[in-house]
Amino acid sequence: MTDIDTDELKRQCRILAKDGLGIAQSPADVSKSGAVRGVVADAIKRWGRLDILVNNAAIPDSTSFDLLTEKRWRHVMSTNLDSIVHCVRAALPYLRQSPCASIVNVASTQGILGQPNALAYGSAKGAVVNLTRCMAVDFGPLGVRVNAIAPGFIDTRMALLPDGSGHEHETTWFKDIYIKYGKLPLRRPGKPEDVAGVIVFLAGDQSRYVTGQVLAVDGGLTCTY
């Protein structure tokens, strides 16, 4: 596991270790290619092989176009999009040696649908969607599968309101539009476990003939209007 937030990384590793999982942590800023190479080197040193890569790093952004500076645009793109390229470039030499190699990229429903004030975030996630397809075509002959998931409203820190006033899933507008009036057919936001199960499926043998696909994990959000 890697993350720029060292304290949270340590906390999550402790939680997983209690379940008996062999977890190693390697803090890094994945928007930096040099840092990513170090993470992959740490994994190879520990296990001697690499079979699965999950690209899940992202930062939220809801900046309107008139306030979207070049610096902010680049920060969102480097974290949400460039990081995937860095991680795949570092991992691919080892993944192609695996008999069961799989890459799972985490996109977003915002990469499929338009949303107000989501220019940077939505553009990055939209690029992740097609990056996944292109990688699947290029890496298929190497025996490396590449798929993506597009989560919708999920109960994580990403859903905290930018002004710090609370959680978007607790707001009146969310409860009315998405729950009461059915914009979310399943009538609830997702949990991290709902997303994790799909990642495990795409990473494992049960999906061994699936590549280049983008699976929405959104409670039905993208099938409504």
Place of tokens 């991680």: 87
Spatial contact of 159 and 153, defined as CB atoms under 8 Å apart: yes
19: left (phi over 0), alpha (psi -120 to 50) or beta: alpha
Beta-bridged to residue 135, according to DSSP, are none
Which residues 6+ apart lie within 8 Å of 158 measured at CB? 58, 60
d(CA 225, CA 172): 20
Can 121 be counted among the known catalytic residues?
Answer: yes
Which residue in 121, 178, 181, 225 is the catalytic one?
121
Task: Please give the angle made by the CA atoms of 195, 28 and 203, to the nearest 5 degrees.
Answer: 30
Place of tokens 């994790």: 196
> What letter does residue 15 receive in the DSSP assignment?
H
Terminal-residue alpha carbon distance, the chain? 37
Instruction: Give the catalytic positions in this structure.
Output: 121
